[in-house]
Amino acid sequence: MTGQQPQEPYNQTNRNPQSNRPRSIPYGQAPQAHIPTQGSQYLPNQPYKPQPQPQPQPGQPTQPSQLDNQAYLGSNNPQQPRPAVPGQAPFAPQQPYVQRPNPYSQPAAPAQAKPYASPGAGQQIPYYSMPPKTKKRGLSGGGVAAIVIAVILVPILLFAAIMAGFAAMANKAVNDAMQQAQNEVETPEKDESQSQTQSQPEIEYITMKDRPSYKGTYDYVNGKYEQYSQEALADTQGFMDKYRIPVTDDGNKYVTDFIAVLGKYATDLKKMGDTVGVNASEMDDVIASYRTNTDTVEGHFLKGEPLDVQVTLQGSNGETYTVDGQNSVDLKPLWADLEPKVAAASNDMGSNYAESAQKIVELAGLQINWNLESAYQYCTKSAENSPDMKTLNDNETFGFYCPVTPNVIYANQQVNGWDSIYAPSAGIRHEIAHHAIHMYCGTIQPPVVIQNGVNRFEGVTNSYAVKYLGADANLLSQSAQQAAANNHRQYLMDDFTDKAAEAIHRGECEAIQ
């Protein structure tokens, strides 16, 4: 409720007591014509003609006006009928003067009031035909007090005004008292409405990138994308070998699909950072789902399983790439599973030693290339500053391993050894050991092979071939001694190289303390 005037019941109108109510006149004067308020829908429309009043005879008391004080006393005197049809004068004929009792004394039971006549068709209802109804309201303590004051104050002011003949002052007093009471009634409701408005919580808008988990999740998802994409671009063959993906068209598409999905996740999560909402819990769930989905698709990739994700990416040139998530690949065996097979392989698997050596390479999941010079387009020989650890010449090189092409062993048939037992039992297993160290440590020269600043990776490779790949220790030792005699001491084995090989096999590639 607002501070408006109380509304009238249906078919009633607000009445200004100062404009529509009959006014008291000085005693002995003829009443003035009552002019209806213009625009009121309850007053007759035809012009009002006042009835002449008889002049008092000499010696006869002047009759009081029928309207004198009647509107304020609320009399139901049946001798004073009310007009029921519009057009009749609102003033009844004068009656002989009768002394009236004090209106505030205990009156006798009045005669039963006659019901008002119902208006006929096209007639307007006189303004006094239906008393206004007041809506029932719940009152506060202040409202009840105001009503009590108004009830006590109104009769007193009316009595004083009537006795003095100041009806206008009484009307104003009544209006002021009732308005004060109404204000007291409506104030608690207004205060309650304001309290309800103030008690309603303000809506707090949340930006997704401001959530505590957003940055960490985005860094995680984007980090996975950058890890795999950069690794594949830097060394595609090494990437395929590391994750045992077959180097086929299906294998290439499988890798491309995986990296595309990771890029899609990272891009979408970055775009969603500016999303605005009101439910923090829902936002946190969405953020967490990106980490979960990234872990899930990575798990499928590492097992060669279908990625089970359907996405479409569009390039800057408008071309699209679709991932259906249904492709799978047969992963190459783990190197840990291949080593025992190589170690147990016989040295006479082929018709000659060279062919037996080639079969051992194939058993390791690798292939042999008999053109040594073709390796140099990918790798160069390691150079040492130490004068007694010189790099081998080509006519001294039995085989060569290039980390850029990790699935290939390059062989030099121009040197001695391929037609002897040395080839399958020692020389080729040394080259396969380079591949094993590469698989465990990501490089053929991990920190663990450094001894007092000297790179011992060739000696460590010999020790690894003996310990884990079935190489003949005596043949490798004899070959290392012959090389050392020609200033190639890097192939010698000792306790340090053995311990470094053991650490690598455990996956410990850092320097030994």
Q: DSSP alpha helices (H): ranges in 317-443?
A: 335-344, 353-363, 422, 428-441
The pLDDT confidence band at residue 55, using thresholds 50, 70 and 90, is low
Rounded to 10°, the helix 428-441/495-505 angle is 50
The pLDDT confidence band at residue 350, using thresholds 50, 70 and 90, is very high
The pLDDT confidence band at residue 491, using thresholds 50, 70 and 90, is very high
Main-chain phi, psi angles of 409, to 5 degrees: -110, 120
Here the contacts of 408-412 (C-beta below 8 Å, separation 24 or greater) are 408/366, 408/367, 408/368, 408/369, 408/375, 409/361, 409/366, 409/367, 409/368, 409/369, 409/435, 410/368, 410/369, 410/370, 410/371, 410/372, 410/374, 410/375, 411/357, 411/368, 411/369, 411/370, 411/372, 412/372
261 or 102: which leads in pLDDT: 261
What is residue 389's predicted lDDT score, i.e. its pLDDT? 84
CA distance 343 to 116: 123
| Mean pLDDT of the 337-344 span | 95
The pLDDT confidence band at residue 169, using thresholds 50, 70 and 90, is low
70 or 341: which leads in pLDDT: 341
Helix (H) or strand (E) segment spanning residue 479: helix 473-485
| Mean pLDDT of the 229-241 span | 88
- Residue of 72, 34, 54, 257 whose CA lies nearest to 174: 72
For the chain, percent of residues with pLDDT exceeding 70: 60
What is residue 286's predicted lDDT score, i.e. its pLDDT? 95
Q: DSSP alpha helices (H): ranges in 58-166?
A: 70-73, 141-164
316 or 212: which leads in pLDDT: 212
127 or 48: which leads in pLDDT: 48
pLDDT, mean over the chain: 75
The pLDDT confidence band at residue 241, using thresholds 50, 70 and 90, is confident
DSSP-derived 3-state class of residue 11: coil
- Tell whether the model's pLDDT for residue 148 goes beyond 50: no
Helix (H) or strand (E) segment spanning residue 320: strand 320-323
What is residue 203's predicted lDDT score, i.e. its pLDDT? 82
What is residue 317's predicted lDDT score, i.e. its pLDDT? 85
CA distance 235 to 227: 12
What is residue 406's predicted lDDT score, i.e. its pLDDT? 87
Most confident of 97-106, 157-166, 346-355, 377-386: 346-355
